[in-house]
Amino acid sequence: MFANLGQQAMFGIVSHLFFIGITWWALQALNFDKLLRPNRVMQARILYILLTVAIGSAVSGFFLDYISWSNQLPFIFNQE
């Protein structure tokens, strides 16, 4: 029982880090310089990091929910 919880926790951590990394890579294609005010480099970097974490976590949450729901589908047909 506890081993299963540990595996789920590890899968969740890896999933979040993976999708945050993918989001970071994908956001590199955008040119944010035109949207930001001049001389606000630190604020722009923090915004970039927060945006990356928000999008990556949302996508990872969707992915983890989808996996969880897929694993629960067989219980529809389980008639006890």
User: Checking phi first, is residue 37 left (phi over 0); if not, alpha (psi -120 to 50) or beta?
Assistant: beta
Predicted pLDDT at 73: 87
Q: Which of 22, 5, 8, 7 is nearest to 56 (CA)?
A: 22
44 in a structural domain:
yes
Based on the structure, what is the number of domains in the chain? 1
> Max alpha carbon distance in the chain (Å)?
66
55 in a structural domain:
yes
Q: Which of 2, 16, 30 is nearest to 63 (CA)?
A: 16
Residue-number span of the structural domain to which 34 is assigned: 11-70
53 in a structural domain:
yes
Burial of 57 (0-12, 13-18, 19+ CB in 10 A): middle
Predicted pLDDT at 80: 63
User: Mean pLDDT for each consecutive 10-residue tract of the chain (80 residues)?
Assistant: 82 95 94 81 90 97 94 81
